[in-house]
Amino acid sequence: MFFRDKCCVVTGGGGFIGRHVTRALLAAGGKVRVSRHRRPVHGLDPAVQIVDADLRDQKDCRRLLDGADCVFHCAGIAGAAGVSPAAAMSGITVNLTLTANVLEAAWHTGVSRILLFGSSTGYPVTSHPVREEEMWSGPVFPGYFGYGWMRRYLERLGEYVHGQANAPDVVIVRPTAVYGRHDNFDPATCHVIPALIDRALAGEAPFTVWGSGDEIRDFLHVADLAHGCLLAMEKLPSCDPVNIGYGQTTTIREVAEAILEAAGHTAPILFQADRPTAIPVRMVDTAKARNMLGFTPAINLRDGLSDTVNWRRMAASGK
């Protein structure tokens, strides 16, 4: 197996995506090292090596990556509809700083391969499933301008580093909207699915949903994303981005209805079209992931939402 006995570093390994990547790597036989900074890390396998490191500090980055074979760079801050411009700018600054530092450290410590996350927010507006080569065919959706351009730039930065002597391969994955256990449920910064889950579990009535409900998305369970990341690390050529998505779309209305059902809550849905929302349609073409990586998602949306609702109910009760 590709990862057996390899030293695999996961930055942000105690976070949402990093936690699931860590679990997948252990199952694949990898030796996993994760970074920790300020916030405690709970619930990881005892086999995981936890290293205290501030990724804003180049010395800490190099110490974390020393001796590593590959790096999954999962640390960072995700964008969300409705956050203030100041909060959005702070997140952009953090992501730029952390990624630049980790790339530089990977280069100087002899890491073979590093995986970076691009984003479907970097794509221009389309009404069809967007292909990887369309990233630069038009402007970023205005609501995603700062975050989308930041992700575009980090892909280019990865290409720049890869072009240097003795630099690592840079694997670029562009996920769709991700959900699942251990997601961010902070009401000030979370995405639509965590927000709706907490409202449903709180028994909100009417059940409020930002937007018209007709927005179209491709939602991917985080465990499927982790599996796709491992396949990409193993098989994807350097600087050849790939979309990782479920490959089927759904409306926000359908998501809201499924969450209410999973939560066992009956309430009328109130759509608030005047509240902050995002791009009306976002579909991605997943043929490349299927054909090049052999990636097929295993968790359908209804089952994934039910599992996430049940996990959140238990976590909120302290069980």
Domain count, the chain: 1
Check if the beta carbon of residue 218 is closer than 8 Å to that of residue 176: yes
pLDDT of residue 276: 67
| CA separation for the pair 80, 169 (Å, rounded) | 30
Q: Is 272 helix (H, G, I), strand (E, B) or coil?
A: strand
Predicted confidence (pLDDT) at residue 161 exceeds the cutoff of 80: yes
Range of the domain at 288: 7-316
Q: Is residue 130 part of a domain?
A: yes
Q: Is residue 1 part of a domain?
A: no
Q: Is residue 135 part of a domain?
A: yes
Q: Is residue 43 part of a domain?
A: yes
Residue 208, H or E segment: strand 207-210
216-217 and 250-251 strand pairing: antiparallel
Return the amino acid letter for 37.
H
Q: Is residue 2 part of a domain?
A: no
pLDDT of residue 170: 98
At residue 84 the predicted structure's pLDDT band, cuts being 50, 70 and 90, is low
pLDDT of residue 1: 84
pTM score of the predicted model: 0.95
Which CATH number belongs to the domain containing residue 309 in this structure? 3.40.50.720
Question: Any idea which of 88-97, 236-245, 248-257, 271-280 has the lowest mean pLDDT?
Answer: 271-280
Q: Which of the two residues, 86 and 68, has the higher pLDDT score?
A: 68
Q: Give the mean pLDDT of 137-152.
A: 93
Of 89, 84, 114, the residue nearest 189 (C-alpha): 84
